[in-house]
Structure 1
Amino acid sequence: MLISLLLCLIPAIVVYTLVRNYFLLPSSIPGPFFARFTDAYRALLVYRRNPHEVHLALHKKHGNLVRLGPNYVSVSGSRGYTPQIYGIGKGLVKSDFYSVFQNIVNGRRAASLVAETDETAHAKSKRLIAHAYSLSTLVEYESLVERTTLCFLDTLESRFAKSSASENETVSGNANDSPTCAASDNDHDKLTATTTTISPGRCLDLAQYLQFFAFDVIGELTFSRRLGFIESGTDVDGIIDAIGSNFSYFSVLGQMPWLDEAFLGKNPVYVKYFRKSVSSPILIFAQRLLKGRLQDLEKGGGGDQKNQDADNSFSRPDFLTRFLKVRKEQADGDEALTDGQILSYLFVGVPFIVSTSKAPAPSPFSVLFSPFFLISLTTNILLRWVSLVFSRRHVFSTPVPIHVLIFVSIYSKYRLTRPRPLTQNQMNINAGSDTIASTLRAIFYYLLKHPESLATLVHELDRAARDSKISVPCPTWAETQESLPYLCAVIKEGLRLNPALSLPLERVVPKTNANNANANANTTKNNVGIGGRGGEGEGLALLHEDGTRTFFPAGTIIGINPWVFHRSTHVFGDDAESWNPSRWLSDEEVATKSMEHSLLSFGAGKRSCLGKNIALLELHKLVPAMLLKFKIELAHPEWEWTVENAWALNQRDIEVTLSLR
Structure 2
Amino acid sequence: MDAEQHDMSMQLKGIVLLFVIIVSYLFWIRYLNGLGGIPGPFLASLSSFWKWYVVWKEEMPWRNAALHEKYGPLVRIGPKHVSASSLEALHAVHIHKKGFQKSAMYEILQPQLDKAPLHNVFSTRNVEYHSALKRTIGGLYNMSTVTEVEPNIDRSIQTFISRLEDITNLQSATVDMSAWLQFWTFDTIGEIDFSQPIGFLEAGADIDGICERDHEMMLYYAVWGQVPNIEKFASRWLWNKALKPNRLYTWTVDLVKSRLDHPTESKDMLNSLLHLHKTDPDRLSLREVTGAAYINLVTAHDVLAIALRAIMYYVCRDQSVYRKLNEEILQAERLGNLSEPSKYVEVVLLPYLSAVINEALRIHPSTGTIFERDVPPEGILLHGKRIPTGTVIGVNAWVMNRNKGVFGEDVERFRPERWIDNSEEKIRLMKKNLLTFGAGARSCIGKNIAMMQLLKVIVELYRHFDIELADPKKEWHISGGWLTRQTQMDMVLTKKLQRA
Q: Secondary structure at the match of 1:117?
A: coil
User: 2:65 maps to what in 1?
Assistant: 56
Pick aligned residue for 1:261 from 227, 232, 256: 232
C-alpha separation between the residues in 2 aligned to 1:659 and 1:451?
16
Offset at residue 280 of structure 1 (A): 4.1
C-alpha separation between the residues in 2 aligned to 1:8 and 1:251?
38
Q: Does residue 438 of structure 2 align to residue 611 of structure 1?
A: no
Q: 1:277 to 1:85 in 2, by over 3 A?
A: closer
Q: Secondary structure at the match of 1:116?
A: coil
8 A Cα contact 2:98 2:441, kept in partner: no
Q: Does residue 324 of structure 2 align to residue 489 of structure 1?
A: no
User: 1:346 maps to what in 2?
Assistant: 293
8 A Cα contact 1:79 1:571, kept in partner: no
User: 1:79 maps to what in 2?
Assistant: 87
Pick aligned residue for 1:335 from 272, 283, 289: 283
8 A Cα contact 2:98 2:127, kept in partner: no
Q: Secondary structure at the match of 2:372?
A: strand
Pick aligned residue for 2:258 from 292, 314, 317: 292
Q: Secondary structure at the match of 2:38?
A: coil
Q: Equivalences for 1:561-576 in 2 at 5 Å? A: 561-576=396-411
Q: 1:106 to 1:470 in 2, by over 3 A?
A: closer
Q: 1:91 to 1:627 in 2, by over 3 A?
A: closer
RMSD of equivalent CA atoms: 2.4
Q: Equivalences for 1:295-374 in 2 at 5 Å? A: 295-297=261-263, 313=264, 315-331=265-281, 334-338=282-286, 340-347=287-294
C-alpha separation between the residues in 2 aligned to 1:605 and 1:630?
38
C-alpha separation between the residues in 2 aligned to 1:31 and 1:73?
9
Q: Does residue 164 of structure 2 align to residue 156 of structure 1?
A: yes
Q: Does residue 97 of structure 2 align to residue 100 of structure 1?
A: no
Pick aligned residue for 1:451 from 319, 322, 331: 319
8 A Cα contact 1:501 1:647, kept in partner: yes
1:416-440 Cα deviation digits (max 9, x unpaired) = xxxxxxxxxxx01120111110110
Pick aligned residue for 2:215 from 241, 244, 249: 244
User: 2:4 maps to what in 1?
Assistant: none
Q: Does residue 441 of structure 2 align to residue 441 of structure 1?
A: no
* One-letter identity of the residue aligned with 1:491: I
Q: 1:223 to 1:616 in 2, by over 3 A?
A: same
C-alpha separation between the residues in 1 aligned to 2:174 and 2:255?
36
1:392-441 Cα deviation digits (max 9, x unpaired) = xxxxxxxxxxxxxxxxxxxxxxxxxxxxxxxxxxx011201111101100
Larger mean CA deviation between 221-230 and 86-95 belongs to 86-95
C-alpha separation between the residues in 2 aligned to 1:471 and 1:597?
32
Q: Secondary structure at the match of 2:262?
A: helix
TM-score under structure 2 length normalisation:
0.91
Pick aligned residue for 1:623 from 450, 458, 466: 458
1:288-307 Cα deviation digits (max 9, x unpaired) = 4323322235xxxxxxxxxx
User: 1:541 maps to what in 2?
Assistant: 381
Offset at residue 121 of structure 1 (A): 1.9
Pick aligned residue for 2:27 from 13, 19, 33: 19
C-alpha separation between the residues in 1 aligned to 2:17 and 2:117?
30
Q: Does residue 80 of structure 2 align to residue 132 of structure 1?
A: no
Q: 1:568 to 1:275 in 2, by over 3 A?
A: closer
Offset at residue 91 of structure 1 (A): 5.3
Q: Does residue 65 of structure 2 align to residue 117 of structure 1?
A: no
8 A Cα contact 1:501 1:562, kept in partner: yes
Q: Does residue 160 of structure 2 align to residue 210 of structure 1?
A: no
8 A Cα contact 1:635 1:655, kept in partner: yes
C-alpha separation between the residues in 1 aligned to 2:120 and 2:16?
41
8 A Cα contact 1:97 1:254, kept in partner: yes
Offset at residue 646 of structure 1 (A): 2.6
Offset at residue 342 of structure 1 (A): 2.1
* One-letter identity of the residue aligned with 1:231: E
Aligned identity (percent) is 33
1:502-530 Cα deviation digits (max 9, x unpaired) = 2101111112xxxxxxxxxxxxxxxxxxx
Q: 1:120 to 1:227 in 2, by over 3 A?
A: same
Larger mean CA deviation between 87-96 and 631-640 belongs to 87-96
Offset at residue 59 of structure 1 (A): 1.1
Structure 1: runs of 5 or more not aligned: 164-200, 298-312, 348-426, 512-537
1:36-61 Cα deviation digits (max 9, x unpaired) = 10111001000001110111111111
8 A Cα contact 2:362 2:401, kept in partner: yes
Offset at residue 660 of structure 1 (A): 1.2
Q: Does residue 343 of structure 2 align to residue 463 of structure 1?
A: no
Q: 1:556 to 1:469 in 2, by over 3 A?
A: same
Offset at residue 26 of structure 1 (A): 6.5
8 A Cα contact 1:112 1:345, kept in partner: yes
* One-letter identity of the residue aligned with 2:327: H
C-alpha separation between the residues in 2 aligned to 1:283 and 1:61?
42
Offset at residue 229 of structure 1 (A): 0.2
C-alpha separation between the residues in 2 aligned to 1:632 and 1:461?
14
Offset at residue 571 of structure 1 (A): 1.4
C-alpha separation between the residues in 1 aligned to 2:130 and 2:420?
37
C-alpha separation between the residues in 2 aligned to 1:437 and 1:479?
22
User: 1:401 maps to what in 2?
Assistant: none
Q: Secondary structure at the match of 1:204?
A: strand
8 A Cα contact 1:17 1:37, kept in partner: no
1:429-475 Cα deviation digits (max 9, x unpaired) = 12011111011000000000011101011111111111112224x32
C-alpha separation between the residues in 2 aligned to 1:510 and 1:44?
27
1:151-183 Cα deviation digits (max 9, x unpaired) = 1001001113553xxxxxxxxxxxxxxxxxxxx
C-alpha separation between the residues in 1 aligned to 2:298 and 2:391?
30
Q: Secondary structure at the match of 1:633?
A: strand
Offset at residue 644 of structure 1 (A): 0.7
* One-letter identity of the residue aligned with 2:192: L
Structure number with higher helix proportion: 2
Offset at residue 279 of structure 1 (A): 4.0
Q: 1:639 to 1:328 in 2, by over 3 A?
A: same
User: 2:365 maps to what in 1?
Assistant: 499
8 A Cα contact 2:366 2:483, kept in partner: yes
* One-letter identity of the residue aligned with 1:295: D
User: 1:35 maps to what in 2?
Assistant: 44
Q: Does residue 483 of structure 2 align to residue 648 of structure 1?
A: yes
User: 1:173 maps to what in 2?
Assistant: none
Q: 1:242 to 1:326 in 2, by over 3 A?
A: same
C-alpha separation between the residues in 1 aligned to 2:291 and 2:464?
37
User: 2:5 maps to what in 1?
Assistant: none
Q: Equivalences for 1:183-202 in 2 at 5 Å? A: 201-202=172-173
C-alpha separation between the residues in 1 aligned to 2:165 and 2:387?
56
C-alpha separation between the residues in 2 aligned to 1:8 and 1:262?
30
Offset at residue 72 of structure 1 (A): 1.1
